[in-house]
Structure 1
């Protein structure tokens, strides 16, 4: 008799779990998704230099949301050396990986992405802390190669005491 009660209780529990959407099938359908790997938002590519101006930088502003995963392509025009830096931003995101050609780099931290003579890299990350952050090309920011990334909280409210470039 106790076995029968246990079996009925287990069957009832299994029926409840399945009816609430917690079945193995729903898990395999992606009910729980990692924001760093699924539903990534592609940002407009960041371009260092142009055919006519090696100090061009486009775009100069990005708006992101905390908790969202992103793919960000960084492109450098051939003919100049560029070192993409964003120290405060890099400290306030979770980096999943950087792809450069056929190489994937998985690292918890990032200082800069340097392009010797043009090229392309793609950064996969999740924004984790609201704030306003500067980015640019090392040694060329004083010539206007600087932009800003605004990371908003989930509710869209600006962050109080947002970290700045030196934070």
Structure 2
């Protein structure tokens, strides 16, 4: 009899978990199954579906794709300076330098020129006609970009230049953009004195 009661009590204890599993899960508990991921509460999927912020995130991604498509094929390089519609060579950006002088027994310049790389400059080269003189300086001319050389009513836009020579009185106006930093000279060919040269220090 005692064994029979012990067996019945053991059977009752073993079937209790089965009844607990068949009981309906309370609202808000985690649901494990194919429709919901482990650890996901039943209300979270609905809230995310109705969340305007979540929809906005998807919309933002679409907007980024549209903006990328609009500028596709365009390469815009950033600039350090904004020069306006006329660009670097506008008159507002140009700096006039003290003139160079070609005259017998006279110094070519009154001092050293200190200019900036990327700056736009204009300088007059004035010959008094007292002697046939020239200014030469291949290194200097390679370190700048020449916009134009104006002689009288003639405007010359050369690809390159090595020297300028004056057979008579006259003025040549050189406009250029300094490019390559360094110390360069324009000098009278065949001369050795410091007064017969102009020094340009491009920084």
Q: Sort the TM-score into its range (normalised by shorter chain).
A: 0.5 to 0.7
Of structures 1 and 2, the one with the larger relative CO (CA 8 A, separation 6+) is: 1
Q: How does 1:1-167 map to 2 (within 5 A)?
A: 31-38=84-91, 39-49=93-103, 53-142=104-193, 144-152=195-203
Which structure dedicates a bigger proportion of its chain to strand?
Answer: 1
- What is the Cα-based RMSD across aligned positions, in Å? 2.1
Q: Give 3-state SS (helix, strand or coil) of 1:71's partner.
A: strand
Which structure dedicates a bigger proportion of its chain to helix?
Answer: 2
TM-score by length of 1: 0.66
Gaps of 5+ in 1: 1-8, 14-29, 153-167
- Select the structure of larger CA radius of gyration: 2
Q: Give 3-state SS (helix, strand or coil) of 2:89's partner.
A: coil
8 Å CA contact 2:109–2:195 kept in 1: the answer is: no
Gaps of 5+ in 2: 1-62, 68-82
Q: Give 3-state SS (helix, strand or coil) of 1:90's partner.
A: helix
Runs of 4+ in 1 over 6 A off after TM superposition: none
